[in-house]
Chain A
Amino acid sequence: MIAIAHISIEAGVFALRDLSLAVGDGQYGVLMGPTGCGKTTLLEIICGLRKPLTGTIMINGRDVTGERPGNRGIGYVPQDGALFPTMSVRNQLGFGPHIRRWPKNLIVARVAELADELGITHLLERLPQGLSGGERQRVALGRALAARPAALLLDEPLSALDEDMRGELRELLKRIQRQQGISVLHVTHDHEEARELADATFVVSRDGVCTASSPALMQHLEHAEQL
Chain B
Amino acid sequence: MAEDVMRPGLQNPACEGRPAESTACDEGYRARPDWPFWVVIAIVTTAYLTLLVGMVASASTFTDPSHLLGAVLSPNIQYAFALSLVSCTVSAIVALLVAVPVGYLLARGNFPGKALLDTLLDIPIVLPPMVIGICLLILFQTPILRWINIHVLRFTYTVWGVVLAQFVVGAAFAVRQMRTTFGHLDMRPEDVALTLGCSRGKAFRLVTLPAAQRGMFGAVSLAWARALGEFGPILVFAGATRMRTEVLPTTVWLEFSVGNLEAAVAVSLLMIGMSITVLLAMRALGDRP
Q: What residues on B are CB-neighbors of A44 within 8 Å?
A: 191
Q: For the complex, is B25 an interface residue (Cβ under 8 Å from A)?
A: no
When the two chains form the complex, which single residue of A49, A83, A85, A143 contacts B196, counting CB atoms closer than 8 Å?
A: A143
Closest-CB distance, B216 to chain A (whole angstroms): 13
Q: Residue-by-residue, is A70-100 near B (CB-CB < 8 Å gives 1, otherwise 0)?
A: 1110111010001111110000000110011
A140 — nearest CB in chain B belongs to which residue? B192
Q: Are B188 and A147 in contact (CB under 8 A)?
A: no
Using known A-B contacts A82-B186, A84-B189, A86-B210, determine if residue A99 contacts B196 with beta carbons closer than 8 Å: yes
Q: Does any Cβ of A come within 8 Å of B211's Cβ? A: yes
Q: Is the interface of B mostly helix, strand, loop or mixed?
A: helix
Report yes or no: B192 in contact with A82, Cβ–Cβ below 8 A.
yes
Give bound CA distance, A48 to B199, whole Å: 13
CB atoms of B210 and A147 under 8 A apart:
no
B197 and A78 within 8 A (CB): no
Known: A74-B195, A99-B202. A86 touches B213 (CB 8 A): yes
Least Cβ distance of A137 to chain B in Å? 13
A78 in contact with B192 (CB, 8 Å):
yes
Alpha-carbon separation in the docked complex, A144 to B192 (Å): 8
Chain B, interface residues (CB within 8 Å), range = 10 to 19
Q: Is A55 interfacial (CB 8 A cutoff)?
A: no
- B186 pairs with A49, CB closer than 8 A: no
Interface residues of A in 152-175 (CB under 8 A from B): none
| Residues on A with beta carbons closer than 8 Å to the beta carbon of B94 | none
**Mask for B188-217, Cβ within 8 A of A = 1, else 0?**
110111111111001000110011010000
A99 and chain B: residue at smallest CB distance:
B197
B-side contacts of A99, CB under 8 Å: 193, 196-198, 202
A47 an interface residue at 8 Å Cβ cutoff?
yes
Q: How large is the interface on A (under 10, 10 to 19, 20 to 34, 35 or more residues)?
A: 20 to 34
Q: Does A133 contact B (CB under 8 A)?
A: no
Q: In the complex, how many angstroms separate the beta carbon of A217 from the nearest chain B beta carbon?
A: 24
Tell me the smallest distance from the CB of B164 to a CB of chain A, in Å. Answer: 34
Return chain B residues, CB-CB under 8 Å to A143.
192, 196
Whether a CB of chain B sits under 8 angstroms from the CB of A33 is no
Contact B207 A49 (CB under 8 A): no
Centre residue among B191, B193, B196, B206 by max chain A CB count within 10 A? B196
Q: How far is the CA of A49 from the CA of B200 in the complex (A)?
A: 11
Q: Which A residues are CB-close (under 8 A) to B189?
A: 82-85
CB pair A70 B194 closer than 8 Å = yes
Verify A70–B196 contact, CB threshold 8 A: yes
Given known pairs A86-B211, A99-B202, the reply for A69 and B195 (CB within 8 Å) is yes
Residues A70 and B210 in contact, CB atoms below 8 Å apart = no
Residue of B nearest to A129 (CB): B289
**What 0/1 pattern do residues 20 to 62 of A give for CB contact below 8 A with B?**
0000000000000000000000001001110000000000000
Query: Residues of A contacting B191 with CB < 8 Å?
Result: 44, 47, 49, 69, 76, 78, 82
CA distance A72 to B206 in the complex (A): 21
On whether the beta carbons of A147 and B192 are closer than 8 Å, the reply is no
Residues in chain B near residue A144, CB distance under 8 A: 192, 195-196
Cβ contact within 8 Å between A82 and B188: yes
Residue pair B211, A96 in contact (C-beta under 8 Å): no
Tell me which residues across on chain B come within 8 A of A147, comparing CB atoms: 196-197
Decide: B197 and A70 in contact? CB cutoff 8 A: yes
- Report the minimal beta-carbon distance from B207 to chain A, rounded to whole angstroms: 5
For residue A71, which residues in chain B have a CB less than 8 angstroms away from its CB? 197
Which of B189, B198, B199, B207 neighbours the largest number of chain A CB atoms within 10 Å of its CB? B189
Contact with B along A195-212 (1 / 0, CB 8 A): 000000000000000000
Query: Which residues of chain B come closer than 8 Å to A76, judged between CB atoms?
Result: 191-192, 195
User: Could you tell me the distance in whole angstroms from the C-beta of A174 to the nearest C-beta in chain B?
Assistant: 23
CB distance from A73 to the nearest CB of B (A): 10
Residues in B whose Cβ lies below 8 Å from that of A69: 191, 194-195
Q: Which residue from A49, A83, A85 sits with its C-beta under 8 Å from B195?
A: A49
Which A residues are in CB contact (< 8 Å) with B197? 70-71, 96, 99-100, 147
Inter-chain CA distance A86–B189, complex, in Å, is 11
Determine which residue in A47, A68, A84, A143 has the highest number of CB atoms from chain B within 10 A of its CB, and name it. Answer: A84
Please name 10 pairs of A and B residues whose Cβ atoms are closer than 8 Å in the assembled complex, sorted by A. A70-B197, A76-B195, A78-B191, A78-B192, A84-B206, A85-B186, A85-B211, A86-B213, A95-B206, A99-B202
Per CB-CB distance, the 4 closest pairs between chain A and chain B, nearest first, are A82-B188, A70-B197, A96-B196, A86-B210
- Residues of chain A having any CB pair with chain B under 8 Å: 44, 47-49, 68-72, 74-76, 78, 82-87, 95-96, 99-100, 143-144, 147
In the complex, besides A71-B197, A144-B192, 15 extra interface pairs with C-beta distance below 8 angstroms are A44-B191, A47-B191, A47-B195, A48-B194, A49-B191, A69-B194, A82-B192, A84-B192, A84-B206, A87-B207, A96-B196, A99-B193, A99-B198, A99-B202, A147-B197
